[in-house]
Structure 1
Amino acid sequence: MTGLRFVAAFLVFGFHVHTERLVADGPARTAMEWVFSPGAAGVSFFFVLSGFVLTWSARPGDTARRFWRRRAARIYPDHLATWLVAVALAVAGGSGVALAVWLPNLLLVQAWSPDLDVFFGLNTVSWSLACEVFFYALFPVLYLLLPRLPGRALWPATAAALSLVWLVPVAAHALPLADRYWFIWVFPVSRLPEFAAGMLLARIVQEGRWPRRFGLAPATALAIAAYLGSRWLPDDFRIVAATVIPLALLVAAVAAADVAGTPSPWRSSRWVRLGELSYAFYLVHQLVLRLVVHVAGTGHPAAAGLGIALVSLALALAGSWLLHEGVENPAIRLLLRRRTPPATAGSAPKPRT
């Protein structure tokens, strides 16, 4: 699963390359639209994966305080570093940053505001971290409730959680049109069912309730079909609901393959290393694109635009390596000096979240 994390992060990168319009209108841009316009679905993958991995690697006898400390050490240092860079870029650009924007972003509560300038302020992608913070706050309680669910109820509960994702766009129609996108895409409560589905699927795999016939190949094919086919759905359903079920099944299928030792391309050392960089890459890539667009502009011919996109990718990878090695790993070592007992909930490799 660690290797597949980078694929999800790369799709988000491709989505932002597409929305920045580096390539002028024409066949190349049309091809990019087909491949990358649904790329934001990578965020759904991360939300489901987060619930799955945290449940899988839960430590017997752990406390909520220790759990929250590990989560803070894992996500906040990189966020703080990229937040500082985003503030510096805003100040250097002469726009400045209002208190109502920078403070919620610093504290990772910006996703609770329906104001576009707040939830997408500074380092735009950090809105998803605000959702993760909400999930982490609830996880100790949700994890205590999970064992009380009978094994036979796990699949119906998973179906119910994923069905709630489809109900969110329906509920959004009760809101003003200007708030619907925020409610569907950004609002932490609306994204909680994806995290909960990941938790339920972790227990399904742990208890051997995953259907063996639904392996890595069919799960991947279904996810690709939903990803490419989502463009034909209405906007409110396309941005989350269209892909959430196949992506959730893909997470579980990859984990089941890891448990069974089934051959998988995502376990190669190269993909695992990229997966380890994926969190830093996710936080860095749009800041890099912002700088590249400022310098190079947009609307380039196909060859030039794609070349600029590749340069952006290389710079984002370099930046993510610097962030991972210079901030993330040292901060984790510093903040988690006391060693805690290893997880014993399962035998699959433990992806970092």
Structure 2
Amino acid sequence: MPAPAPISAAPKGRPRLPSLTGLRFLAALMVFFFHTGLSNSPIPPNRPINPFADEGVAHAYEWLFVKAGYLGVSFFFVLSGFVLAWAAKPGERTTAFLRRRLMKIFPNHLVVWVLAMVLFAGAVAPTAGWLSNLFLLHTFFPQPEINLSVNPPTWSLGSELLFYMAFPLIIGPVRRIAERRLWFWSALMVAGTIAVQLVSTYLVPATPKSAITPVSDTQFWFGYLFPPGRLFEFVLGMLLARIVLAGRWPRALGVLPSLALTAAGYAAAWYVPFQYSFVAATIVPIGALISAVAVTDVEGRGGWLRSRVMVFLGEISFGFYLCQGIAIFWLRSLFEDTRFSTPTGFLVILGFLAVTLLGGWLLHTFVEQPAMRRWSRSRRRVTLPAPRPAADDAPGAGREPVHAPPAVR
């Protein structure tokens, strides 16, 4: 789950989107359920995460949420493009934008990186793994010991970092697309997600096979982890933001139809070839759900997603996502191969949820917010010299005095 964009910081005149903040937590929760159902941990010694001793229950739990992680991450990538385009301020300096976005993701990442290195990763991560992970460049490497090193959930931040670097270059062309062409370009982005998997299937080596997926490690990396391949989702979100802002979202495709479409896409993910369950099966439903929920905020229709509790949970969802590598993968390893009865297994999952929520709140309160307040904006004050008045412009000569503009932060 990528770092949340500042939905509340929309340009003047654009409504805020609190319902999308609440929806963000539900997507992060889908990733949590996916992680707690894994039959194999991504960190050494690669013991099972799934806590259930009953094989039927363990299989059912894993089966139910095995596609949820793909859905949640794709949701965040589309959402990132949507809210950044929504909040984009014409004329904003690229340096100011990048400063704010980097301060949003790196402080939390660095704190969790240090914890992971101290607790488990320092003993097993290769130098190329921990060093590239530190700078969020690890997903440009096809080797699993690098692209999933240190804190495995941070793989998605590698894509987010690319999105932030590319956004100032993309937003101009996106703004220049004629409104009548927005749907055409959105369809091209959907087609792009399919093209990535076609390349992965037919042009990327299919051997040697991965030990934990039906495809090779290289195919999994190219089709799922490689940041450039995820740009189609991000740009689709930007285009959908323009469609909603232009009032071109079809009223018939509201929240309930979009939820039904999402459920259908999630069901389809079990039947399409494995690589196409990453994005292709659910990309259209995800875009529809984000847009439909945004329309409810634009129209001022209240709902439980914009309640105080859901907005709070959405605000801590970035930290909640980052903490899962420690609060689930590492904590579970302390129990070694122990499996539990079904009631106890659910209590274990609730315990993981409580620890992860606590970690997310701590990161948001004591790391993310202070860092944003302190470093997200330049503290330099620019004082412009007062203009020298001409003879007929002097105060008292029939005109208002000329004042220097306020200091710029």
Correspondence list, 1:41-190, <5 A: 41-90=71-120, 95-173=123-201, 174-177=203-206, 178=216, 179-190=218-229
Q: Indicate conservation of the 8 Å contact 1:108/1:129, yes or no.
A: yes
Aligned residue number for residue 205 of structure 1 = 244
Question: Which stretches in structure 1 are left out of the alignment for 5+ residues?
Answer: 340-353
Aligned residue number for residue 302 of structure 1 = 342
Distance 2:378 2:181 in 1: 38
Q: Displacement, 1:96?
A: 4.0
Per-residue displacement from partner, 1:211-269 (whole Å, max 9, x unpaired)?
Answer: 11111111111112211331122111112211111111111111111101223321111
Per-residue displacement from partner, 1:14-70 (whole Å, max 9, x unpaired)?
Answer: 001001222234342243134311111100000000000000000122011111000
Q: Percent identity?
A: 40
Per-residue displacement from partner, 1:148-185 (whole Å, max 9, x unpaired)?
Answer: 21111100100110111112111112111231100110
Q: Indicate conservation of the 8 Å contact 2:125/2:145, yes or no.
A: no
Distance 1:337 1:65, change over 3 A: closer
Distance 1:60 1:91, change over 3 A: closer
More moved, 209-218 vs 255-264: 255-264
Correspondence list, 1:200-239, <5 A: 200-239=239-278
Q: 1:14 aligns with which of 20, 30, 33?
A: 33
Distance 1:43 1:15 in 2: 11
Q: 1:329 aligns with which of 354, 363, 369?
A: 369
Distance 1:215 1:124 in 2: 35
Question: Which stretches in structure 2 are left out of the alignment for 5+ residues?
Answer: 1-19, 39-48, 207-215, 380-409
Distance 1:84 1:228 in 2: 38
Indicate the SS of the match to 1:290.
Answer: helix
Distance 2:284 2:204 in 1: 25
Per-residue displacement from partner, 1:317-347 (whole Å, max 9, x unpaired)?
Answer: 11111111111111111102558xxxxxxxx
Q: Indicate conservation of the 8 Å contact 2:153/2:324, yes or no.
A: no
**Larger RCO, structures 1/2 (Cα 8 Å, 6+ apart):** 1
Q: 1:3 aligns with which of 17, 22, 31?
A: 22
Aligned residue number for residue 5 of structure 2 = none
**TM-score with structure 2 length normalisation?**
0.80
Q: Displacement, 1:273?
A: 0.5
Aligned length: 338
RMSD, matched Cα: 1.6
Q: Indicate conservation of the 8 Å contact 1:288/1:315, yes or no.
A: yes
**TM-score with structure 1 length normalisation?**
0.92
Q: Indicate conservation of the 8 Å contact 2:190/2:236, yes or no.
A: yes
Higher helix share: 1
Aligned residue number for residue 350 of structure 1 = none
Indicate the SS of the match to 2:101.
Answer: helix
Distance 1:37 1:215 in 2: 27
Distance 1:219 1:97 in 2: 42
Distance 1:255 1:288, change over 3 A: same
Aligned residue number for residue 323 of structure 2 = 284
Distance 1:290 1:116, change over 3 A: same
Q: Indicate conservation of the 8 Å contact 2:100/2:377, yes or no.
A: no
Distance 1:337 1:73 in 2: 9
Letter of the 2:372 counterpart: I
Distance 1:316 1:329 in 2: 18
Aligned residue number for residue 348 of structure 1 = none
Distance 2:126 2:64 in 1: 36
Per-residue displacement from partner, 1:90-113 (whole Å, max 9, x unpaired)?
Answer: 267xx3432111110000111100
Runs of 4+, deviation exceeding 4 Å: none
Distance 1:162 1:151 in 2: 18
More moved, 150-159 vs 20-29: 20-29
Distance 1:138 1:337, change over 3 A: closer
Q: Indicate conservation of the 8 Å contact 1:74/1:328, yes or no.
A: yes
